């Protein structure tokens, strides 16, 4: 049996394209509908109630596209608003749990760092999940919201002095606490993984939540017999096409998006 309906993926903006990239790599025959809430990004600096309402609206938009599974490709939504998915009629995958599992598998000294947005860090989602599975772990959490802006502005080269300076400041607690594994808990950070690695050194393992999540999506589709063997179409919706839209989207997806596949969507508010 197979299911040819698309996978729905959403994010506060375009950052979720880093997760989408990994899902496409892992599941090339799946159709995908992506929604980026570009008119309301960032979510990472907002309060929990607002993030939950936005997440619910984003999920409803994807359901209107008849998706078979929803991925919250946003660290902030996944940590602050996972309960908005409780009454969804389709399977839901968030990006925290699988990154935590990958970090627990990778760490040798049980010292794990989390780099994410302010809202994600405030939620304590990673830390709680890590400590549940590894009670004697030392978890160091750092909020690195400025790094989101640097990526969006295109300061992504591993030798960029501005980015390196910001990374050095943010990862200092990781170095002080001798972490050997860092979860990149925000969509944008895989783009500057090389710069982060350059500062932390190659012995520190960086966990890309897109990779961990893509494997979970594949496993879920296989288990529920929902795989599509003949798709591969990708449709992108955004709530606003800002001036830098194309540039930012191609940085995050790692390839140009065909203009014909992008639509502006009006979201029904709750």
Per DSSP, helices labelled H in 64-95 are 75-80
74 is catalytic: yes
For ligand DGL, which residue has the nearest CB? 44
Give the separation between CA 175 and CA 200, rounded to whole angstroms. 7
DSSP 13: S
Pick the catalytic residue from 171, 186, 211, 221. 186
Nearer to ligand DGL, 68 or 188 (CB): 188
Nearer to ligand DGL, 17 or 24 (CB): 17
222 is catalytic: no
Left (φ > 0), alpha (ψ -120 to 50) or beta: where does 83 sit?
alpha
The beta-strand segments (E) located in the chain are 7-11, 32-36, 69-72, 92-94, 111-116, 138-143, 181-184, 205-208, 234-238, 262-264
DSSP 82: G
CB of 93 to ligand DGL, least distance (A): 14
CB of 209 to ligand DGL, least distance (A): 8
Give backbone dihedrals phi and psi of 25, rounded to 5 degrees, phi first.
-60, -40
Angle made by CA atoms 227, 249, 52, in degrees to the nearest 5: 70
Percent helix / strand / coil, the chain, rounded to 5: 45, 15, 35
Task: Note the residues at the interface with ligand DGL (CB under 6 A).
Answer: 11-13, 15, 41-44, 74-76, 117, 120, 148, 186-188
Q: Which two tokens stand for residue 180?
A: 């050997």
Give the separation between CA 245 and CA 88, rounded to whole angstroms. 30
Nearer to ligand DGL, 11 or 180 (CB): 11
Nearer to ligand DGL, 30 or 58 (CB): 58
CB of 116 to ligand DGL, least distance (A): 6
Nearer to ligand DGL, 6 or 75 (CB): 75
Nearer to ligand DGL, 120 or 140 (CB): 120
Stretch (H or E) spanning 150? helix 145-152
CB of 53 to ligand DGL, least distance (A): 14
If we measure between CA atoms, which residue out of 52, 1, 62, 76 comes closest to residue 32?
A: 62
Q: Which two tokens stand for residue 201?
A: 């050194």
Pick the catalytic residue from 23, 69, 72, 74. 74
Could you give the residue numbers annotated as active site?
A: 74, 186
């Amino acid at each position: 049996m197979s299911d040819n309906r698309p996978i729905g993926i959403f994010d506060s903006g375009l950052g979720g394209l880093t997760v989408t990239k990994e899902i496409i790599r892992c599941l090339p025959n799946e159709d995908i509908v992506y929604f980026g809430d570009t008119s309301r990004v960032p979510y990472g600096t907002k309060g929990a109630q607002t993030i939950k309402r936005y997440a619910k609206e984003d999920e409803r938009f994807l359901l209107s596209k008849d998706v078979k599974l929803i991925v919250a490709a946003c660290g902030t939504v996944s940590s602050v608003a996972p309960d908005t998915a409780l009454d969804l009629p389709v399977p839901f995958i968030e990006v925290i749990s699988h990154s935590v599992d990958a970090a627990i598998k990778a760490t040798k000294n049980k010292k794990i760092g989390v780099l994410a947005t302010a809202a994600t860090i405030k939620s304590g989602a990673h830390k709680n999940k890590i400590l549940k599975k590894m009670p004697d772990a030392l978890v160091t959490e750092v909020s690195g919201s400025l790094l989101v802006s640097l990526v969006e502005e295109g300061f992504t080269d591993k030798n960029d002095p501005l980015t390196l300076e910001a990374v050095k400041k943010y990862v200092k607690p990781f170095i002080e606490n001798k972490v050997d594994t860092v979860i990149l808990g925000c969509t944008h950070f895989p783009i500057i993984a090389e710069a982060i690695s350059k500062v932390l050194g190659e012995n520190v393992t960086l966990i890309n939540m897109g990779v961990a999540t893509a494997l979970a999506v594949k496993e879920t589709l296989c288990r529920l017999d929902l795989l599509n063997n003949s798709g591969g179409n990708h449709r992108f919706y955004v709530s606003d096409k800002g001036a830098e839209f194309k540039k930012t989207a191609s940085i995050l997806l790692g390839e140009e998006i065909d203009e014909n596949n992008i639509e502006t969507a009006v979201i029904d508010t709750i």
